[in-house]
Amino acid sequence: IAWVNATKTVQGLRWHSPMLDDISAAKSWSKVEAGMRRMFLKEVLGKLPVAQHFMFGTLLRAAEGMSADAEKVVGEEDVGEVEVTVDGMKHKHSANSWGDCCGIKVPSAVGARLEARKHGEDPGLRRLPFD
């Protein structure tokens, strides 16, 4: 704090570094550490989008049998491309893991869980398709 005060041209820690001023008012460093841990848990680990950037295969292991359910859903007739005419427009259907190639809306984790509970299911860990 002395170095910051010596470097800054404005007098007073409160004016040029209000966060340092707040931290320096703490009674002990354990209070500062506890606050930083709480903030990290809530603001970083508590948010879903952060998990999109992890290398899932090495850091987060898939549950046993997680790929087996996708193999059951996609039958032999769904493999490959099928040309379909809808309202006079031709387009090709191609198989994917969630069974819809024509634009699926990506559910939020909370919304997907609530929807599963409405139907009496609790899938636990499951895949969420990300675009």
- Predicted confidence (pLDDT) per residue in 74-131, tens digit: 555 555 566 666 666 666 666 555 555 555 555 566 676 777 788 887 666 666 555 4
pLDDT score, position 131? 47
Lowest average pLDDT, out of 1-5, 69-73, 114-118, goes to: 69-73
Query: Do 38 and 70 have their domain in common?
Result: no
Distances, alpha carbon 121 to alpha carbons 66, 89, 115, 118, in Å: 16, 37, 9, 7
Domains of the chain: total? 2
* 71 and 113 together in one domain: yes
Q: Are residues 68 and 104 in the same domain?
A: yes
- 39 to 22, 33, 45: CA distances (angstroms): 15, 10, 9
What's the pLDDT tens digit per position in 5-29?
Answer: 777 777 777 777 787 778 778 888 8
- 94 inside domain: yes
Provide the domain limits for residue 83.
64-118
What pLDDT was estimated at residue 35?
87
38 and 69 share one domain:
no
Q: Answer yes or no: do 69 and 112 share one domain.
A: yes
Q: Which residue is listed with tokens 């002395």?
A: 2
Which pLDDT score is estimated for 37? 92
Closest Cα to residue 70, out of 20, 12, 6, 127? Answer: 127
Q: Single out the residue of 39, 38, 1 nearest to residue 22, CA to CA.
A: 1
* pTM of the complete model: 0.27
26/71 same-domain check: no
